[in-house]
C-alpha cells in the first residue's frame, strides 16, 4: 500500500492527492503535524531530509519532490494515462512540470504562505511583489501557448495540469488577474472532480 506523508494545507501535497484520485490508486495518508514542527524532528527527517511534504513511502521505498512522485505514479499506474503516448508529448509535459516548479510554485509560496499564515507586519512585501511580477510574466507566456487550446499538451488534461492546479487555485489570494486563455484553463482545471474534492478550506 502506498503511504503518503502529507499536510492538508500543503499545495505540493495536493498535487499528489489529485493524481491519486485521477488514477484511483489506493493509498494511506499520514498527516505530518507541521504546526507542532514534527517535520523538523529526526523521525520525519529520516523520511525526508528536507523536512518537506509530500513524501511517498511504499514497502520501505522513499520518494520525495512532488513532481517526481507524479512521474513515478504515472510509470507504475499508467492507466488512466495522464501523459501522451509519444516521447515528444511526454517530454513537453515534463518540461511544463519543471517550469511550474521553477517559474510559479516557488514564487507562489513566497506570496501565499505569509498571506495565509503570517500577520501583515511580518510580510516581506518587496519579495512578494517581485514574485508576483515573475508569475505574471510566466502567465503571459502560458497565455500565448494556451491560445485556442483547452490544455497545455496535446490538448488533453495531463500531469502538467495536475502540477499547476494547487497553485492557480491561489491566484485570487495572490491578487493576480490571469490573462484570458489562462483564466479559461484555470476554470477548467478547478472544475475537475479531483480538484473539487481536494480544494483547500476557504
Site residues (CB under 8 A) for its own copies?
Answer: 49-50, 61, 63-65, 67-69, 71-72, 75-76, 87-88, 90-92, 94-95, 98-99, 101-103, 106, 141, 144-145
Pick the closer one to its own copies by CB: 68 or 177: 68
Pick the closer one to its own copies by CB: 8 or 51: 51
The minimum distance between CB 124 and its own copies, in angstroms, equals 13
The sheet with strand 27-31 has its strands ordered as 27-31, 2-6, 55-58, 61-64
Which is it for strands 2-6 and 61-64: parallel, antiparallel or unpaired? unpaired
Distance CA 138, CA 54 (A): 25
Which is it for strands 27-31 and 2-6: parallel, antiparallel or unpaired? parallel
Longest Cα–Cα distance in the chain: 50
The minimum distance between CB 98 and its own copies, in angstroms, equals 5
The minimum distance between CB 96 and its own copies, in angstroms, equals 9
Pick the closer one to its own copies by CB: 26 or 60: 60
Pick the closer one to its own copies by CB: 140 or 187: 140
- DSSP-based three-state secondary structure for 181: helix
The minimum distance between CB 7 and its own copies, in angstroms, equals 19
What are residue 6's phi and psi, to 5 degrees?
Answer: -150, 180
Amino acid at each position: 500500500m502506498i503511504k503518503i506523508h502529507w499536510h492538508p494545507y500543503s499545495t505540493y501535497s495536493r498535487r499528489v492527492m489529485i493524481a491519486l484520485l485521477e488514477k484511483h490508486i489506493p493509498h494511506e495518508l499520514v498527516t505530518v503535524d507541521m504546526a507542532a514542527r514534527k517535520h523538523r524532528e529526526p523521525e520525519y527527517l529520516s523520511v525526508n531530509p528536507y523536512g518537506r511534504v509530500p513524501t511517498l513511502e511504499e514497502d520501505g521505498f522513499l520518494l520525495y519532490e512532488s513532481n517526481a512522485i507524479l512521474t513515478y505514479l504515472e510509470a507504475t499506474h499508467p492507466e488512466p494515462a495522464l501523459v501522451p503516448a509519444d516521447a515528444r508529448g511526454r517530454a513537453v509535459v515534463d518540461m511544463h512540470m519543471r517550469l511550474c516548479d521553477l517559474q510559479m510554485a516557488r514564487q507562489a509560496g513566497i506570496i501565499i504562505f505569509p498571506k495565509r499564515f503570517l500577520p501583515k507586519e511580518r510580510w516581506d512585501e518587496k519579495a512578494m511583489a517581485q514574485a508576483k511580477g515573475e508569475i505574471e510574466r510566466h502567465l503571459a507566456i502560458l497565455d500565448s501557448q494556451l491560445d485556442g487550446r483547452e490544455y497545455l499538451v496535446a490538448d488533453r488534461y495531463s500531469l502538467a495540469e495536475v502540477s499547476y492546479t494547487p497553485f492557480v487555485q491561489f491566484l485570487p489570494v495572490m491578487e493576480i488577474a490571469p490573462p484570458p486563455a489562462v483564466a479559461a484553463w484555470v476554470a477548467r482545471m478547478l472544475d475537475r472532480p479531483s480538484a473539487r474534492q481536494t480544494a483547500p478550506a476557504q
